[in-house]
């Protein structure tokens, strides 16, 4: 099958979160399975310098954006498994210090930036020497692509247009812009109505994808169910319920060629489920690296991720205030809302021998926190899939999670199966329940045979991408069947 993936970020070229990991791993795995794969993504600042083998393609692009024509270039790179990578260059839109925001606020021209990018995706799908059977879009930044393809086919200027799949990574981010932004699409005005693109008087890019894609997926089965409800539907649940028969939850996988404990240059010492001595060495190295007292005997809690309300930061901070009276340590790597960054830095200043905070993102340090921590905190208010809890399992680090979305799908609590337990769940979104979950973790830590059982259960769990990619292939086939039926 010929598959073109479209994403606003892809690891290792650009990354702000799990979206980049997912698209990079999916593309690589599909190529390894024998499919012809292309991936389209913006050419952000620094990519050409970090990957000097990247080459310009011979054709340029010229995109109509409202009343203007915007020019761009296409750069090409072959990925490690033979996947083709296409980078869309426009220095005005993509040569910036961040992908989406500046000083905590969205770029005011994100509408133009990603409408331009979406049109560039369609341009490539239409003009590349190989013609994709499927265009697989990811999140709101490419939400308009299915509508652009559908409109082009309807106008009669695209025979055998590809079928489309939209993956919703996080429904809370929808790409909502003023009604005036719709003019940038150059689409017929009749699409701007409440059944399609209009959303409370504004334009909603993700809604467009939900309405027009041939098939929809989310990144975990539980999240697929949750977003059909008013509680988690972010005001789009009525639209999603209409498409419920076309909605499939496919759990993200883990790229174990990168996230492993035996062949990993980011770690101080290798280890595996049969010999955990290296985990203790990694814990001591992490304590030293982050300036904490080297005390391998005490529990070390860790966190890596966005500092956003969705991630449960409010209850995490409150729970830490209570639990830090115990003889423990806590380390965190992340960035996000300024008030949360400040709160964690203040916590570190008050507990300098117990708390270490690093603001920003560092891939190597993320690996070392996963390897060195005893427990990993993920108290998310909602979590479409989550990857860090799966990384933690492979690293023998016990996740403490709220039972929502992909966290609920991947973690087994002792209340569910004592013999297969690999983590700790709590249900109510409250600091008290999170504190109780951490206290349960401290009890497990003091019981070495039980601690070892949790670690080994986690390390043998298999969330490899081959199974996940095969599910996507089945989804692509269903999308093609759905498109034929619609015709």
| pLDDT above 90 as % of the chain | 94
Q: Is residue 265 part of a domain?
A: no
Residue with tokens 């509508």: 147
pLDDT average, residue stretch 148-176: 94
Residue 104 has pLDDT above 90, yes or no: no
Give the residue from 394, 413, 400 showing the smallest Cα distance to 299.
Answer: 400
Q: What does DSSP say about strands 247-249 and 424-426: parallel, antiparallel, or unpaired?
A: unpaired
Q: What does DSSP say about strands 329-336 and 424-426: parallel, antiparallel, or unpaired?
A: unpaired
- For the stretch 191-248, pLDDT in tens is 999 999 999 999 999 999 999 999 999 999 999 999 999 999 999 999 999 999 999 9
Same domain, 380 and 450: yes
* The predicted structure's pLDDT at residue 287: 98
Q: Is residue 163 part of a domain?
A: yes
Beta strand extents in 360-397 (DSSP E only): 375-378
Q: Is residue 424 part of a domain?
A: yes
Residue 485 has pLDDT above 70, yes or no: no
Query: Higher confidence at residue 265 or residue 484?
Result: 265
Same domain, 20 and 40: yes
pLDDT average, residue stretch 175-181: 98
Same domain, 369 and 293: yes
Q: Is residue 413 part of a domain?
A: yes
Tokens of 308: 């956003």
Task: Identify whether the C-beta of residue 371 lies closer than 8 Å to the C-beta of residue 267.
Answer: yes
Query: Higher confidence at residue 373 or residue 336?
Result: 373
Q: Is residue 261 part of a domain?
A: no
* H/E element, 152: helix 145-154
Same domain, 290 and 232: no
Cα distance between residue 64 and residue 69, in whole Å? 4
Same domain, 395 and 479: no
* The predicted structure's pLDDT at residue 486: 60
Is this prediction's pTM over 0.75? Answer: yes
Same domain, 384 and 403: yes
Residue 151 has pLDDT above 70, yes or no: yes
Residue 293 has pLDDT above 60, yes or no: yes
Same domain, 325 and 400: yes
Residue 365 has pLDDT above 90, yes or no: yes
Tokens of 186: 């150059």
Tell me 14's DSSP state.
-
Task: Identify whether the C-beta of residue 317 lies closer than 8 Å to the C-beta of residue 343.
Answer: yes
Same domain, 70 and 214: yes
pLDDT average, residue stretch 28-48: 97
Domain hosting 448: range is 277-462
pLDDT average, residue stretch 445-457: 97
**Domain tally for the chain?**
2
DSSP annotation string for 349-403: HHSTTTEEEEES--HHHHHHHHHH-SEEEE--S--SS-SHHHHHHHTT-EEEEES
Tokens of 139: 């999140």
Mean pLDDT of the chain: 96
Same domain, 299 and 158: no
Same domain, 356 and 211: no
Q: Is residue 178 part of a domain?
A: yes
Tell me 296's DSSP state.
T
Is 235 in a helix, a strand, or coil? coil
Q: Is residue 28 part of a domain?
A: yes
Cα distance between residue 6 and residue 365, in whole Å? 29
Confidence of residue 484 (pLDDT cuts 50, 70, 90): low
Residue 483 has pLDDT above 80, yes or no: no
Q: Is residue 207 part of a domain?
A: yes
Same domain, 480 and 422: no
We report the CATH number of the domain holding residue 114 as 3.40.50.2000
**What angle separates helix 313-323 from helix 338-350, to the nearest 10 degrees?**
10
Same domain, 328 and 409: yes
Point out which residues pair with 400 in neighbouring strands: 377, 424
């Amino acid at each position: 099958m010929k598959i073109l993936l479209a994403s606003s970020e892809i690891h290792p070229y650009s990354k702000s979160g799990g979206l980049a990991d997912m698209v990079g791993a999916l593309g690589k795995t599909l190529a390894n399975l024998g499919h012809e794969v292309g991936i389209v993504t913006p050419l952000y600042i620094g990519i050409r310098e970090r990957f000097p083998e990247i080459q310009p393609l011979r054709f340029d692009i010229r995109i109509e954006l409202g009343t203007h024509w915007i020019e761009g270039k296409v750069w090409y790179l072959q990925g490690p498994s033979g996947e083709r990578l296409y980078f869309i260059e426009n220095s005005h839109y993509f040569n910036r210090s961040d992908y989406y925001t500046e000083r905590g606020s969205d770029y005011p021209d994100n509408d133009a930036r990603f409408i331009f990018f979406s049109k560039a995706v369609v341009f490539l799908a239409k003009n590349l020497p190989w013609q994709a059977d499927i265009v697989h879009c990811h999140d709101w930044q490419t939400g308009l692509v299915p509508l652009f393809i559908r409109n082009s086919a309807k106008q009669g200027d695209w025979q055998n247009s590809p079928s489309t799949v939209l993956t919703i990574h996080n429904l809370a981010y929808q790409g909502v812009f003023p009604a005036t932004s719709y003019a940038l699409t150059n689409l017929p005005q009749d699409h701007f109505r409440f059944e399609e693109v209009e959303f409370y008087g504004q334009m909603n890019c993700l809604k467009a994808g939900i309405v027009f894609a041939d098939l929809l997926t989310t990144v975990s089965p539980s999240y697929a169910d949750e977003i059909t409800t008013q509680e988690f539907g972010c005001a789009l649940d009525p639209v999603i319920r209409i498409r419920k028969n076309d909605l499939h939850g496919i759990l993200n996988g883990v790229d174990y060629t990168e996230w492993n404990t035996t062949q990993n240059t980011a770690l101080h010492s290798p280890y595996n489920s049969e010999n955990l001595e290296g985990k203790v060495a990694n814990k001591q190295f992490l304590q030293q690296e982050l300036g904490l007292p080297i005390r391998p005997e005490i529990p070390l809690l860790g966190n890596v991720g966005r500092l956003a309300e969705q991630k449960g930061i409010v209850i995490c901070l409150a729970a830490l205030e209570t639990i830090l009276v115990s003889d423990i340590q806590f380390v965190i790597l992340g960035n996000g809302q300024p008030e949360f960054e400040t709160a964690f830095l203040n916590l570190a200043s008050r507990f300098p021998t117990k708390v270490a905070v690093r603001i920003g993102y560092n891939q190597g340090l993320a690996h070392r926190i996963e390897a060195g921590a005893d427990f990993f905190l993920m108290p998310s208010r909602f979590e479409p899939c989550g990857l860090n809890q799966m990384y933690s399992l492979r690293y023998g680090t016990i996740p403490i999670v709220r039972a929502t979305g992909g966290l609920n799908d991947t973690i087994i609590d002792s209340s569910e199966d004592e013999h297969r337990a690999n983590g700790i769940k709590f249900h109510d979104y409250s600091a008290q329940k999170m504190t109780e979950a951490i206290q349960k973790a401290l009890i497990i830590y003091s019981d070495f045979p039980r601690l070892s059982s949790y670690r080994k259960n986690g390390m043998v769990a298999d969330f490899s991408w081959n199974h996940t990619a095969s599910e996507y292939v089945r989804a692509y086939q269903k999308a093609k069947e759905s498109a034929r039926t619609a015709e």
